[in-house]
Amino acid sequence: MDFPPDTLHSTAPPPARAPTPHPAPLWAVRGAMSRKMHVAFAVLGFCAVLAVWLGLAESGWFNKVFLPRPQDVAQRFYTWLVEDDLLKDVSISIYRVMGGFMLAVIVALPLGLMIGTFRPVQAFFGPVMEFARYLPAVAFVPLVMLWVGIDEGSKVAIIWIGTFFQMVLMISEDVHRVPMAQIEAAQTMGATREEIITKVILKSALPSIMDSLRVTMGWAWTYLVVAELVAANSGLGYAILKAQRFLQTDKIFAGILLIGLIGLVMDQLFRWVHRQRFPWLYA
Amino acid sequence: MPKLNIRKGSKIFNTGKITLHALQDINLSIHENEFVALVGASGCGKSTLLRIIGGLESFTAGDVSVDALPIVDPGLERAMVFQDYSLYPWLTVAENIRFCRELKAHQKDNSLRATYHAIGRAHALMELMGLEHISNAYPNQLSGGMRQRVAIARALMPAPEILLMDEPFGALDAQTREVMHELILHLFAQERSTIVFVTHDVEEAIYLANRVVVMAPQPGRIDSIYNVPLPPAGQRHLDMKLAPEFLSLKKEILQRIRATARVHTDAGLLDKLTKPHHHDNEEGRSL
């Protein structure tokens, strides 16, 4: 007869096996999580930050000039929207980011594709790009102002310098990672070089290129603020700088939060397009 | 006249200081509707040879030709099946199989009749490979076995005269592999093409092929060629793997591969490895 080992030496009845399977443990290593639970935790994360902020601000330990209360920031946000033309600041900033970013994409995409595909192009541009990537974009600000002036072009140029070189290298890496078997399969089917590039390499690398663009978009926002802090009379970065002069800490907070919020929305937009455009990755 | 002819083929890789004879003096003739398997220890150049026939690589010296025409690059009369990762994940099963129709090389005849014929062939291939019910699935939704079926169907789509297979079932489990063997034999009996099949599995080679070519490494060369004493493809079945003549051929080929692989167990070295301190102490004392 088979006894569970623990019943042999004990008088207590063996513990009954649970008839239903365990609910998936929440803290399992690399465990799974339902969508609802995920959203709940994400909301909780934001609430925690807000709570800490509120607690510190209400504690009275800090001067309001150093740490405004959340409600003050909300209030400032409202007056900025109604009285100070928030939308104009937001739209001009988005316009600059988009301008610099799109110009970078237009050049980086074909160049990255060529670098990742053809060895001579890689040998020619690769090392130069690796070098240029380490040039601090911020240090280019005086040069850009000298060359391009202080109008819209300079902000776009700084964003371009800040994102372009990274973007080229990331795209060329994405292209380079296309499995050789996919390319050779097309070759054995008689595909021409152009067909291999357009029908295989580009199609295969597009999802990861899209991800690379999403990441570089974040950097574009960083460089926007740099550009607007230094040389602008409009936009979110400029608004933050102006608020500093008037010690409007709540407005600085509002500006920073707003940039974060716009970044988050853009990121989610990228992810949404990714899901729509590349269904096979989510099937 | 042989369908595929290789004469004095050799390939040398020159990587700086090291010169590697990947293939040396390869002579091989393969006839129409023949199923030839290439086996051999790793590094014997069997995959390189297949890739040269496919036109993806080339000999340093020597000739390879199809119907007496030299091979310089991939051609439509030759199709290739790779081990894995060659399917296009962004296309569905049906789209993958029809992929070649997207290429200019296959669009010379764009008449309605040719298009209908192509659609018909794609359907027939899906039916033959048991893929109709998943024709709208994406490759990453499929098991490894199913993915290889799609890869084979895609290679067969343009009705190639020669099918080149580079360890196509190397990543599959034993059961799936057996199913694929039956499928390949059925397909070979139906399509009547010429197949060159690279594998490291000797049993697979004998069960599928008419001839088994054993290759040896350093330098990569043809060691020996065996005719398989089994009935034609359509009449083979799994029980034959247990027949005495099958087993003796398998044993013979395995012995050849082992002999050429230069892998041997050095008893003295093993002894040294297991009792190193003992020996050291003894030597120390004697000194």
Q: Are A96 and A153 in contact (CB under 8 A)?
A: no
For the residues A158-179, what does the mean pLDDT come to? Answer: 94
Nearest to B233 by CA among B208, B212, B256: B208
Q: What is the pLDDT of residue A135?
A: 86
Structurally, at CATH architecture level, domain A66-282 sits in: Orthogonal Bundle (1.10)
**Chain A positions in Cβ-Cβ contact with residue B100 (cut-off 8 Å):** 189-190
Q: Are A228 and A237 in contact (CB under 8 A)?
A: yes
ipTM: 0.85
Rg of chain A over all Cα atoms, to the nearest angstrom = 27
pLDDT over 90 percentage in chain B: 36
Q: What is the pLDDT of residue A5?
A: 47
pLDDT over 90 percentage in chain A: 50
Q: What is the pLDDT of residue B129?
A: 85
How many angstroms away from the CA of B114 is the closest CA of chain A? 18
**Chain B positions in Cβ-Cβ contact with residue A184 (cut-off 8 Å):** 56, 80, 82, 86
Q: Are B76 and B87 in contact (CB under 8 A)?
A: no
How many angstroms away from the CA of B69 is the closest CA of chain A? 17
Strand order in B61-66's β-sheet?
A: B18-30, B4-15, B61-66, B69-70
Chain A neighbours among B 189-248 (CB < 8 Å)?
none
Interface test with B, best of A182, A187, A189 (most B CBs within 10 A): A189
Q: What is the pLDDT of residue B236?
A: 85
Q: What is the pLDDT of residue A120?
A: 95
**Chain B positions in Cβ-Cβ contact with residue A185 (cut-off 8 Å):** 80, 82, 86-87, 151, 154
Interface test with B, best of A177, A182, A188, A281 (most B CBs within 10 A): A188
Chain A touched by B158 (CB under 8 Å)? yes
Conformational region of residue B22, where left means phi above 0, alpha means psi within -120 to 50, and beta covers everything else: alpha
Candidates A195, A279, A280; nearest CB to B103 = A195
Nearest CA in chain A to B75: A190
Q: What is the pLDDT of residue A138?
A: 82
How many CB contacts within 8 angstroms connect chain A with chain B?
83
Chain A touched by B184 (CB under 8 Å)? no
Q: Are A100 and A158 in contact (CB under 8 A)?
A: yes
Q: Is the pLDDT of residue B284 over 50?
A: no
Domain ranges (residues) in chain A: 30-62, 66-282
Give helix then strand counts, H and E, for chain B. Answer: 9, 10
Q: Is the pLDDT of residue A164 over 90?
A: yes
Candidates A190, A195, A278; nearest CB to B74 = A190
Q: What is the pLDDT of residue A16?
A: 57
Nearest to B255 by CA among B282, B223, B209, B230: B223
Judged by CB atoms closer than 8 Å, whether chains meet at B82 and A203 is answered as no
Instruction: Write the single-letter amino acid at A12.
Output: A
Q: Is the pLDDT of residue B38 over 90?
A: yes
The length of chain A in residues reads 283
| pLDDT tens-digit series, residues B128-149 | 888 989 999 999 999 888 999 9
**Chain B positions in Cβ-Cβ contact with residue A187 (cut-off 8 Å):** 55-56, 73-74
Residue ranges in A138-278 assigned as alpha helix (H):
141-148, 152-176, 180-188, 193-195, 202-230, 236-245, 249-277
Q: What is the pLDDT of residue A7?
A: 42
Higher pLDDT, A182 or A19: A182
Cβ neighbours around A249 below 10 Å, total: 19
For the residues B81-100, what does the mean pLDDT come to? Answer: 92
Judged by CB atoms closer than 8 Å, whether chains meet at A280 and B76 is answered as no
Work out the mean pLDDT of chain A and round it to a whole number: 87
Judged by CB atoms closer than 8 Å, whether chains meet at B82 and A189 is answered as no
**Chain B positions in Cβ-Cβ contact with residue A279 (cut-off 8 Å):** 138
Q: Are B137 and B147 in contact (CB under 8 A)?
A: no
Confidence of residue A6 (pLDDT cuts 50, 70, 90): very low
Judged by average pLDDT, the poorest of A81-95, A138-152, A199-213, B239-253 is A138-152
Q: What is the pLDDT of residue A19?
A: 57
Q: What is the pLDDT of residue B187?
A: 86
**Chain A positions in Cβ-Cβ contact with residue B80 (cut-off 8 Å):** 184-185, 188
Q: How far apart are CA B54 and CA A187, in angstroms?
A: 10
For the residues B96-101, what does the mean pLDDT come to? Answer: 91
Cis peptide before B219 (omega within 30 of 0): yes
For the residues A14-18, what does the mean pLDDT come to? Answer: 57
Interface test with A, best of B52, B98, B100 (most A CBs within 10 A): B100
Work out the mean pLDDT of chain B and round it to a whole number: 86
Cβ-proximal residues to B176 (8 Å cutoff; 6+ apart), any chain: B143, B144, B145, B169
Candidates B86, B140, B158; nearest CB to A280 = B140
Judged by CB atoms closer than 8 Å, whether chains meet at A283 and B141 is answered as yes
Chain A touched by B99 (CB under 8 Å)? yes
| pLDDT tens-digit series, residues A110-149 | 999 999 999 999 999 999 998 988 888 888 888 888 888 8
Judged by average pLDDT, the poorest of A177-186, B87-96, B231-240 is B231-240
Chain A touched by B95 (CB under 8 Å)? no
Nearest CA in chain B to A202: B90
Half-sphere exposure of A126 (CA within 13 A, CB side): 14
For the residues B21-39, what does the mean pLDDT come to? Answer: 91
Candidates B85, B90, B141; nearest CB to A179 = B85
pLDDT over 70 percentage in chain A: 92
Judged by CB atoms closer than 8 Å, whether chains meet at A188 and B100 is answered as no
Judged by CB atoms closer than 8 Å, whether chains meet at A184 and B137 is answered as no
Alpha-carbon B149 to chain mean position:
15
**Chain B positions in Cβ-Cβ contact with residue A195 (cut-off 8 Å):** 102-104
Higher pLDDT, A206 or B159: A206
Chain A positions contacting chain B at CB under 8 Å are 179, 181-182, 184-192, 195, 199-200, 203-204, 206, 278-281, 283
Q: Is the pLDDT of residue B39 over 60?
A: yes
| pLDDT tens-digit series, residues B159-208 | 889 999 999 998 888 888 888 899 899 888 888 889 999 999 999 999 99
Q: How far apart are CA B38 and CA B200, in angstroms?
A: 8
Nearest CA in chain B to A181: B86
DSSP B16: T
Judged by average pLDDT, the poorest of A57-66, A171-180, A205-214, B160-169 is A57-66
Q: How far apart are CA A82 and CA B155, in angstroms?
A: 65
Q: What is the pLDDT of residue A51?
A: 94
Candidates A181, A192, A278; nearest CB to B85 = A181
Higher pLDDT, A103 or A29: A103
